[in-house]
Amino acid sequence: MSEKHTPIFGIDLGTTYSCIAYVDEYNRPTVVPNSAGDRTTPSVVQFDGDERIVGKEAKNASLLYPDTTVELIKREMGSKDYTFYYQGEKYTPEEISSYIIRKLVQDAAQYTGYDIRDVVITCPAYFGIPEREATARAGQIAGLNVRSIINEPTAAAIAYGVHEQADQVVLVYDLGGGTFDITMIEIKGGNITVICTDGDHFLGGRNWDELIVTYLAEQWQRETGSSEDPLDSPETLQDLYLRAEQAKYTLTQRDRTDVSVAHAGQRARITLTREKFDELTEPLLSRTVALTRQALAEAARRGYTTFDQLLLVGGSSRMPQVSRRLAAEFGIEPKLFEPDEAVAKGAAIFGQKLLLDQEIRIRVAEATGVAPEEVDVQATASPVVEAVQEEIARDYGLQIGSVKKQAETQIVNVTSRSFGVVAWSTQLQAEVVSNLIRRNDPLPASATQRFGTRELGQATALIQIVDNLSTSSQYEPPPASRLIAEAELRLPPGLPAGSPVEITFDLNEQGRLHAHARELTHGQEVEVEIETELGATEEEIAAAERRARSIVIS
Ligand SMILES: Nc1ncnc2c1ncn2[C@@H]1O[C@H](COP(=O)(O)OP(=O)(O)OP(=O)(O)O)[C@@H](O)[C@H]1O
Ligand SMILES: [Mg+2]
């Protein structure tokens, strides 16, 4: 791209490693190395006075300063309970994440010479609304304009899809440092559609490290005969984690490695074979297989019974045990696809698409005299659009073919969570969750459902919006249902019990939910709009009070 067009950068904000990329002037998705020359940066932050040290240096310092070094912060994203204090001040996960983002952006700005303002950040597919909002806020705190939050597996599929002409169904197996995602995606006519997605928030390379750490501690005790437990010492523990990860890397290349473990003045040399490592970690690998089978079953319900390609992304998918096991289980040779970089590159390609779409919109607006926000590019006469695309190709130094291709590519995502309301079931005589939008519904999703008031003369109806992972339309709470927003709908006086209340949910492509409720009896509409937000409602409203205002489903 020419100098005046600053690209939108793509950021893979990982649990253990992060990566930043952009589409360069030759239209190539390109990872930008950090100031140390590495293509990924450890997602570790060390607090040092007013300084925030991010990356390899912080990761190494974690040994000396375990109390002022923060790791794995992504696992806390969106959590209200997380507390980290430094010099008497409390830091939120998004604030800590913003330091990582800032470091990536600063280094990339330095390297490329661009003044970076706009970014696309990725997150695991099953992140709910609070986690997504927190991710976006992390970018904002870093002083950036977050243009979009997209799912990691979708980003990987975009990066893969740009090389692919053929229509195909792809299963993306993403085993990172902290999370596991399994996603089925269809690439058809250049469009990318997510069919379904599943995953585990707490399953990643770090868990493999943990089992090595435990093993090393046991072996140290056996060899030294000491009754001391190395795991009791924070310093030894940090050291063990670093050594465990190193051993894991070595076992990707070779079939055995020696690890030196020092604790309480005694040192032992412990041999770890790949066989032993695979045996120790077999339950973890099996869990990814079980989740993959679950996703395949869901895909089959949606009419997709086979897939053409099994893509491995995420650094942990490099472990030989992964390909071997998947090939045995699913009878297809998996393809390791740029495990550390695909996600950031896909985000960058998506960013470029946003930029081009916006450019097309603005220029079509100029050409047709319509306001940019009113422009409907699809409905605009094709000679106008083509002229605009050619102009953009020229200005941006791109080939017309690639501008057209990007403009035409559509990316359809699914929701990784179900969204519903809590209602009283007269049939079951119990509170139930009624899911209006269900997990794996394509986005944008919209749904309307009718409920009734519970009592005669009820003054208000309490609309409790929850998200959950259930795929059924109705079930009894509370299993794993989380209140994300609450609103009160005022009712006209004197309504009989069972007066209709209609609730509509609109979930956009970004996974943001918009809800409204109407009372229908008097033709008079009472409308409530809820934009779900992080932290939803804090106060615990007494259950009895809730019941008195509840809505019913019959
Ligand atoms: N050669 C290798 N062999 C084994 N494990 C590896 C190798 N390279 C990287 N890993 C592991 O991969 C993980 C990092 O992968 P990646 O950068 O994809 O994860 P992440 O983006 O930080 O995490 P997530 O996607 O879960 O948020 C770490 O646990 C790391 O130890
Ligand atoms: Mg990742």
Token readout for 330 is 């699913």
What pLDDT, on a 0 to 100 scale, did the predictor assign at position 512? 77
- Distance from the CA of 168 to the center of ligand 1, in angstroms? 27
Burial of residue 502 (CB within 10 Å: 0-12, 13-18, 19+) is middle
- The residue contributing the CA closest to ligand 1 atom 20 is 14
Note whether 16 and 58 are within 8 A (CB). no
Q: DSSP code of 296?
A: H
- The residue contributing the CA closest to ligand 1 atom 1 is 249
Q: Which atom of ligand 1 is nearest to the CA of 152?
A: 25
205-278 homologous superfamily: ATPase, substrate binding domain, subdomain 4 (3.90.640.10)
What pLDDT, on a 0 to 100 scale, did the predictor assign at position 31? 98
Q: Which atom of ligand 1 is nearest to the CA of 205?
A: 29
Please name every residue paired with 488 in a beta bridge, in sequence order, or none if there are none: 462
What pLDDT, on a 0 to 100 scale, did the predictor assign at position 163? 76
Pick the CATH number of 418-553 from 3.40.50.1820, 2.60.34.10, 2.60.120.40, 3.40.50.300: 2.60.34.10
Note whether 72 and 18 are within 8 A (CB). no
- Distance from the CA of 344 to the center of ligand 2, in angstroms? 9
What pLDDT, on a 0 to 100 scale, did the predictor assign at position 144? 95
CB count within 10 Å of CB 415 equals 25
Task: Tell me the pLDDT of the chain (554 aa) as tens digits.
Answer: 444 589 999 999 999 999 999 999 888 999 999 999 999 999 999 999 989 999 999 999 888 888 999 999 999 998 888 989 999 999 999 999 999 999 999 999 999 999 999 999 999 987 887 888 899 999 999 999 999 999 999 899 899 987 777 899 999 999 999 999 999 999 888 788 889 988 888 999 999 999 999 999 999 999 999 999 999 998 899 999 999 999 999 999 999 999 999 999 999 999 999 999 999 999 999 999 999 999 999 999 999 999 999 999 999 999 999 999 999 999 999 999 999 999 999 999 999 999 998 989 999 999 888 888 888 888 888 889 899 999 988 888 888 888 888 888 888 888 888 999 999 988 888 889 999 999 888 888 999 999 999 999 898 889 899 888 888 888 776 556 788 888 888 888 889 999 999 999 999 877 778 888 888 887 666 665 555 443 333 332 233 333 344 455 54
Architecture in CATH for domain 9-164+337-349: 2-Layer Sandwich (3.30)
- Distance from the CA of 150 to the center of ligand 2, in angstroms? 12
What pLDDT, on a 0 to 100 scale, did the predictor assign at position 289? 98
Q: pLDDT tens, 491-549?
A: 888 899 999 999 999 998 777 788 888 888 876 666 655 554 433 333 322 333 333 44
DSSP-derived pairing of the beta strands 309-313 and 430-437:
unpaired
- Distance from the CA of 411 to the center of ligand 2, in angstroms? 20
- The residue contributing the CA closest to ligand 1 atom 3 is 249
- Distance from the CA of 72 to the center of ligand 1, in angstroms? 12
Q: pLDDT tens, 125-175?
A: 878 878 888 999 999 999 999 999 999 998 998 999 877 778 999 999 999
- The residue contributing the CA closest to ligand 1 atom 12 is 315
List, as ranges, residues with CB under 5 A of the ion ligand 2.
Answer: 14, 176
What pLDDT, on a 0 to 100 scale, did the predictor assign at position 480? 67
Ligand 1 neighbours by CB, cut-off 6 Å: 14-17, 40, 74, 176-179, 204-206, 245, 248-249, 252, 314-316, 318-319, 340
The model carries a pTM of 0.85
- The residue contributing the CA closest to ligand 1 atom 28 is 177
- Distance from the CA of 313 to the center of ligand 1, in angstroms? 9
- Distance from the CA of 181 to the center of ligand 2, in angstroms? 9
Write down the number of H helices and E strands in the chain: 12, 29
Residues 6 or more apart whose Cβ sits within 8 Å of residue 524: 492
What pLDDT, on a 0 to 100 scale, did the predictor assign at position 513? 85
Distances (CA, A) of 125 to 122, 131, 148, 402: 9, 11, 14, 27
What pLDDT, on a 0 to 100 scale, did the predictor assign at position 526? 61
Residues 6 or more apart whose Cβ sits within 8 Å of residue 410: 191, 192
User: H-helix or E-strand containing 120?
Assistant: strand 118-123
Q: Where are the domains of the chain?
A: 9-164+337-349, 205-278, 361-412, 418-553
